[in-house]
Structure 1
Amino acid sequence: MAGSPEAGQGTGAAGLPMRVRIIAVAVATAVLATVAVVYTVTAVQRTEAADAPSAFGLDHGRLYFRSMREGAGAGRVARLAAAPGPETAGMRAAAAPGPDRRATGGPACERFYAAGGTALCLQRRPGIPPAAYAVVLDGRLREKRRIALTGIPNRARVSASGRMLSWTMFATGDSYATSSFSTRTSILDTRTGYLVKNMEDIPLTLGGRRYHSPDVNYWGVGFARDDNRFYATVSTKGRTYLVEGDLRAWTARTLRENVECPSLSPDNTRLAFKKRVRDGARDPWRLYVLDLRTMREHPVAEERSVDDQAAWLDDHTLAYALPGSGGKGSDIWTVPADGGGTPALRVAEASSPAMVR
């Protein structure tokens, strides 16, 4: 009808003016878009909140680890006191586990280590394919840098100063007890930001001669106090060797055979390592300590097979993970480094021990 406000606008099947329908569709689209954005942001915030620590940081004299206890803190970084109470002269952290007063407030990690106000968290996210990351954290366990990785997180170390970081990923396989594995080990200088994605290109001297082989694998890097010298394991032709390296010169040389996952003592005089004492993939290793001045080695009192890079709680005590009771998870044990004493359960349902000094 002439003069009608709807004239010339047309109507829809329901008799609504076309302009009204267009406005309604636009409003509905905007509402749906807003809902989608809000949902996405909320989901991201929930994920970040789940991963982010609250008031939980690195405190001196505290033992940090990855909690494997069922519940809200499973898979997250936790901490407890270095000893269950006041220590008397000569008393060591390995003496007794004491009550478990763990506090869980750190990020979710597959492997963890911390020193010098810096922490390294290796994460793995489900997906096709799964995603993995090396996350560099500050003294309050806040993220500073995230590096995308491939493979399965396996070893993590931070130098005493907090400057140098290293990590090892399984590229294929998931156990050092078999020959069907390949590793990729990286080194990060947090001061310069320089990243060595794969250290297999470092010139290697084996038996006094420059060595080349496509099957060379490195893992278990640990740094000396000067942030330049490092120790690691190299494997080739079915054998493993202890390697001493120089980062500035970018060279490495083998020191002795049958050494895996070396860990340097705080005073830089000894290396804890696992030594293959049995053939095959069942319980092949035993934990040893090597004196770097005399190059003499001795086993520690732990007679069970240790498939871990032991950590030094102090100059006298080693901590390491062993399979938990019933084959579930793992527990952290300690043992004197001098070969005496007896192993002691330190933290049940835990792994990746790191004493912050």
Structure 2
Amino acid sequence: MTARTTWLTHLSRSPRRRVVSASVGFTALAVLAGSAIVAARPDTPAEAAGQGTVSLLPVSPSVQEGPQVAALSTASDAHGRLMTQPAGTPSTVAPLTCARFHAAAGTGLCLRLDGNLTTYQLTVLDARLRVRDEIPLVGVPNRARVSPSGHLVAWTVFVTGDSYNGGRFSTRVGILDTRTDTLVPTLEDWAVSVADRPYHAKDLNFWGVTFAPDDRHFYATMSTAGHRYLVRGDLATHRLTTVRDGVECPSLSPDGTRIAFRAARDGDPRHGWRLSVLDLATDRVTPLAEEHSVDDQAVWLDSRTVAYALRRGRDHADVWRTPADGTGRPRILLPDAESPAVLTAP
């Protein structure tokens, strides 16, 4: 039996004080997982200053051409600050600071340090950066995703203490329905099928959720027994089914037919990753023109182009773009930025 313990709590939408329990990776964080928090009012700003200067909704198509992108700055004077940039215009920086960020349909997801600067919290934002919900996180933020509708948010954190893992880091996924406050704190107690057969193992790890437009299905990476599978999840049945081996950090295309992902070179993550695209109907994999190792969950700028962050040393990164069909060459999209998201209307 592993050291993991899971409680599934249904959260009521209310200004009352409420208790949120999460999946606990190790004993030292158990107190945080069961701590009480206050449900934020819809008009609570994420930060006191800067409201109205940054929006999570795109500007009118008549004003700009191309996607409007939000990202986190990696510039020395604004590290972790949220920035938005319509195509061909200067960026606007908000006072909000996040470790990971994503947005869609006027909903933002910011994984950030809490007030005591030692632990993290999940913050759900509206289009004007006002706080809708805050939940304490157990672990260190790694990935963040908002569904195309803006109704669902997902996150991945690193945790330690799983008995099977010898003290090394494991990953944990959580999903929140922002309409009902229904929380899925872990996928590890869901029914799993590998090659159409029920599968049970102690070493299951999940990361990198990407949502389908129906607000029911999603894709993610599942690691077990040395394999990294693309899995398809069903929020109605709590079932996960493997789709393909060798897929990490998936990102579903706007039309739902392709998955952008990182593929371990030679099947070994120690050799780095190649950004690639999987056609779900044909199972064909197309390596993209980016030859640098991409340690990121890509986003789709449109049906033809993906964007991703490439690190420059420890603290800096740039967001690049490249065609999704393997042609062309990478081009820089946002200098000194990471965690890109394409802003869409509800």
Q: TM-score range by the shorter chain?
A: 0.7 to 0.9
User: Which runs of structure 2 are paired with 1:1-357 in the superposition (5 Å)?
Assistant: 53-55=50-52, 56-60=54-58, 61-71=67-77, 73-81=78-86, 83-84=87-88, 101-125=90-114, 130-172=118-160, 180-278=168-266, 282-324=270-312, 326-357=313-344
The structural deviation recorded for 1:298 is 0.7
The structural deviation recorded for 1:278 is 3.6
Amino acid at match of 1:258: G
Once residues 183 and 290 of structure 1 are traced to their aligned partners in structure 2, the CA distance between those partners, rounded to angstroms, is: 24
Q: Provide TM-score, normalisation by structure 1.
A: 0.76
**Contact 1:283-1:304 within 8 A present in 2 as well:** no
Once residues 46 and 306 of structure 2 are traced to their aligned partners in structure 1, the CA distance between those partners, rounded to angstroms, is: 34
Structure 2 SS opposite 1:225: coil
The structural deviation recorded for 1:181 is 2.5
The structural deviation recorded for 1:59 is 2.5
The structural deviation recorded for 1:53 is 4.4
**Contact 1:78-1:106 within 8 A present in 2 as well:** no
Q: 1:209 to 1:49 in 2, by over 3 A?
A: closer
**Contact 2:46-2:130 within 8 A present in 1 as well:** no
- Structure holding more helix per residue: 1
The structural deviation recorded for 1:127 is 5.2
Once residues 50 and 70 of structure 1 are traced to their aligned partners in structure 2, the CA distance between those partners, rounded to angstroms, is: 20
State the percentage of identical aligned residues. Answer: 47
Structure 2 SS opposite 1:74: coil
**Contact 2:70-2:84 within 8 A present in 1 as well:** yes
| Unmatched tracts of structure 1, length 5 or more | 1-47, 86-100, 174-178
* CA deviation vs aligned residue, 1:24-53 (integer Å, no higher than 9, x gap): xxxxxxxxxxxxxxxxxxxxxxxx885664
The structural deviation recorded for 1:54 is 1.5
With 282-291 and 150-159 compared, the bigger mean Cα shift is at 282-291
Q: 1:106 to 1:158 in 2, by over 3 A?
A: farther
Q: 1:280 to 1:264 in 2, by over 3 A?
A: closer
Q: 1:231 to 1:281 in 2, by over 3 A?
A: closer
The structural deviation recorded for 1:180 is 3.7
Q: Provide TM-score, normalisation by structure 2.
A: 0.78
Q: Which has the larger radius of gyration?
A: 1
**Contact 1:52-1:107 within 8 A present in 2 as well:** no
Q: How many residues align?
A: 286
**Contact 1:52-1:142 within 8 A present in 2 as well:** no
Q: CA RMSD in A?
A: 2.0
Q: 1:286 to 1:49 in 2, by over 3 A?
A: closer
* CA deviation vs aligned residue, 1:51-96 (integer Å, no higher than 9, x gap): 664112112141100011122x321110111x327xxxxxxxxxxx
Q: 1:132 to 1:194 in 2, by over 3 A?
A: same
Once residues 308 and 350 of structure 1 are traced to their aligned partners in structure 2, the CA distance between those partners, rounded to angstroms, is: 12
**Contact 1:123-1:135 within 8 A present in 2 as well:** yes
The structural deviation recorded for 1:141 is 1.1
* CA deviation vs aligned residue, 1:179-230 (integer Å, no higher than 9, x gap): 9430111000111110011111111001221111111011101110101111
Amino acid at match of 2:236: R
**Contact 1:272-1:290 within 8 A present in 2 as well:** yes
**Contact 1:51-1:108 within 8 A present in 2 as well:** no
* CA deviation vs aligned residue, 1:164-192 (integer Å, no higher than 9, x gap): 1100001139xxxxx94301110001111
